[in-house]
C-alpha cells in the first residue's frame, strides 16, 4: 500500500507541474481526457504488479537466502570435518614420527649392543688365538728341546762309543755294557 501511495503522490505532483507548464503536458494531465485515464491505469497497473511481484521477489530472495544459508552450513560442516581429518592425520603423523624415533633408538641400542658383543667376541677370539700360538710355540720349544736333547744324547752316545771302542778292550767293554744295561731300567723310570 505504501507503494501505491507514493505512486499517487508522484502522479499528483507531476500533474501540478504539468498544468503550470502548459502545452502538451497540460493536455496529458487533463482530468477529463483519455490520456489522463490511461496514465492513471498505467500507474495503477505498475503499482499492482509491484505489489504482486513483491511476494514473488521476496519468496525468490528468501529461497535464495535459504539456499545460501544451507550452503554455508554445508561448508561449515565440511570445514569441521576437514579440520577433524587434518587433526587426525596430524596425530597419526606425530605417532608415526614418535614410532620411527623409537625404532631408531632401538636400532641404535641394538647396534651398540651388537658392537660391544662383537668386540668381546673379537677379544676372546684374539685371546684364544694368542693362547693357541703360545701353546704352539711352547710345543715347538719342547720339540726343539727334545730334539736338541736327543741329538746331544746321540752325539754323546756316539762319542762315548767311539771313545770306548778306541780305549777299552773287549773284556772291560762287555762288563760296562752289562752294567749299563742293568742300570737302564732305573734311569728310564
**Does residue 187 form part of some domain?**
no
Do the beta carbons of residue 28 and residue 18 sit within 8 Å?
Answer: yes
**Does residue 60 form part of some domain?**
yes
Domain that holds residue 13: 2-96
Model pLDDT for residues 59-89, shown as the tens digit of each residue: 888 999 999 999 999 999 999 999 999 999 9
User: Total structural domains in the chain?
Assistant: 1
Give me the long-range contacts of 3-11 (CB less than 8 A, separation at least 24): 3/47, 3/50, 3/51, 3/54, 4/44, 4/47, 4/51, 7/43, 7/46, 7/47, 8/43, 10/43, 11/39, 11/40, 11/43
**Does residue 132 form part of some domain?**
no
Model pLDDT for residues 101-150, shown as the tens digit of each residue: 999 999 999 999 999 999 999 999 999 999 999 999 999 988 888 888 88
Amino acid at each position: 500500500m505504501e507503494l501505491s501511495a507514493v505512486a499517487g503522490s508522484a502522479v499528483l505532483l507531476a500533474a501540478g507541474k504539468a498544468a503550470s507548464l502548459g502545452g502538451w503536458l497540460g493536455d496529458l494531465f487533463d482530468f477529463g481526457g483519455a490520456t489522463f485515464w490511461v496514465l492513471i491505469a498505467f500507474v495503477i497497473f505498475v503499482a499492482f504488479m509491484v505489489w504482486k511481484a513483491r511476494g514473488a521477489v521476496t519468496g525468490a530472495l528468501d529461497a535464495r537466502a535459504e539456499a545460501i544459508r544451507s550452503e554455508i552450513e554445508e561448508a561449515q560442516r565440511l570445514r569441521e570435518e576437514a579440520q577433524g581429518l587434518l587433526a587426525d592425520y596430524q596425530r597419526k603423523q606425530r605417532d608415526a614420527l614418535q614410532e620411527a624415533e623409537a625404532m631408531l633408538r632401538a636400532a641404535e641400542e641394538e647396534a651398540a649392543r651388537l658392537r660391544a658383543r662383537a668386540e668381546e667376541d673379537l677379544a676372546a677370539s684374539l685371546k684364544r688365538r694368542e693362547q693357541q700360538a703360545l701353546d704352539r710355540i711352547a710345543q715347538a720349544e719342547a720339540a726343539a728341546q727334545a730334539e736338541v736333547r736327543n741329538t746331544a744324547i746321540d752325539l754323546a752316545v756316539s762319542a762315548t762309543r767311539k771313545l770306548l771302542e778306541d780305549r777299552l778292550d773287549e773284556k772291560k767293554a762287555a762288563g760296562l755294557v752289562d752294567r749299563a744295561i742293568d742300570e737302564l731300567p732305573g734311569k728310564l723310570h
